[in-house]
Amino acid sequence: MKIANRVRRGFYADSVALMRIARELESVPGVKRASLMIGTPSNKALLKESGLLSKEGASARPDDLIIAVKGKNADESLLLAEKLLTSGKAKSQSSESHPTFASAFGALPGANLALISVPGEFAAAEARRALERGLHAMVFSDNVPLAEEVALKVFAAKRGLLMMGPDCGTALIAGVPIAFANAVPRGDIGIVAASGTGLQEVSCLIARDGRGISHGIGVGGRDLSRAVGGRMTLAAMDALEADAATKRIIVISKPPSPSVTARIVARAKRCRKPVTLCLLGAKAGSNIVRTLEAAAGIHPKEHIEVKAKGNIVGLFCGGTLCAEAQIVLTDHGLNVSSNAPVPGARKSGAPHQLLDLGADEFTRGRPHPMIEPALRNEHLERALRDKAVGVILLDVVIGYGAHHDPAGLIAHVVRKSEKPVIASVTGTEGDPQVYSRQVKKLRAAGVIVAASNAAAARLAALAVWAN
* Coil vs helix vs strand at 137: strand
d(CA 420, CA 390): 7
Q: At what angle do helices 453-465 and 288-296 cross, to 10 degrees?
A: 130
The pLDDT assigned to 133 comes to 94
Closest residue by Cα to residue 252 from 300, 288, 304, 282: 288
Q: Which residues of the chain have pLDDT under 70?
A: 16, 88-99, 281-304, 341-349, 364-366, 466-467
Q: Which residues of 178-203 are buried (b: 16+ CB within 10 A; e: fewer)?
A: bbbbbbbeebbbbbbbbbbbbbbbbb
d(CA 444, CA 431): 20
Q: What is the CA radius of gyration of the chain?
A: 22
CATH of 2-86 among 3.40.50.460, 3.30.930.10, 3.40.50.300, 3.30.70.100: 3.30.70.100
Kindly report the pTM of this predicted structure.
0.84
Full 3-state SS string of 182-241: CCCCEEEEEEEECCCHHHHHHHHHHHHCCCCEEEEEECCCCCCCCCCCCHHHHHHHHHHH
Question: How are the residues of the chain apportioned to helix, strand and coil, as percentages rounded to the nearest 5?
Answer: 40, 20, 40
CATH of the domain spanning 184-299: 3.40.50.261
The pLDDT assigned to 93 comes to 47
Which residues in the chain are classed under CATH 3.40.50.720? 99-167
Q: At what angle do helices 258-270 and 231-242 cross, to 10 degrees?
A: 10
The pLDDT assigned to 285 comes to 47
H helix runs in 87-173, sequence order: 101-107, 120-132, 146-158
The pLDDT assigned to 95 comes to 45
Longest dimension (CA), the chain: 65
- Phi then psi for residue 323, to 5 deg, are -65, -40
User: Alpha carbon of 436 to those of 318, 371, 400, 412, 417: distances in Å?
Assistant: 20, 20, 16, 18, 22
DSSP letter, residue 352:
E
99-167 carries CATH number 3.40.50.720: yes
The pLDDT assigned to 331 comes to 86
CATH class of 311-465: alpha beta
**Alpha-carbon dihedral of residues 438, 440, 444, 446, nearest 10 degrees?**
70
* Coil vs helix vs strand at 176: strand
pLDDT tens-digit profile of 390-432? 999 999 999 998 999 999 999 999 987 889 999 999 999 999 9
The pLDDT assigned to 343 comes to 58
Which residues in the chain are classed under CATH 3.30.70.100? 2-86
The pLDDT assigned to 94 comes to 47
Q: What is the DSSP string of 359-411?
A: SHHHHTTS--TTT-THHHHHHHHHHHH-TTEEEEEEEEE-SBTS-S-HHHHHH
DSSP letter, residue 63:
T
The pLDDT assigned to 284 comes to 46
The pLDDT assigned to 70 comes to 92
User: Alpha carbon of 205 to those of 29, 169, 289, 320, 431: distances in Å?
Assistant: 40, 18, 9, 15, 13
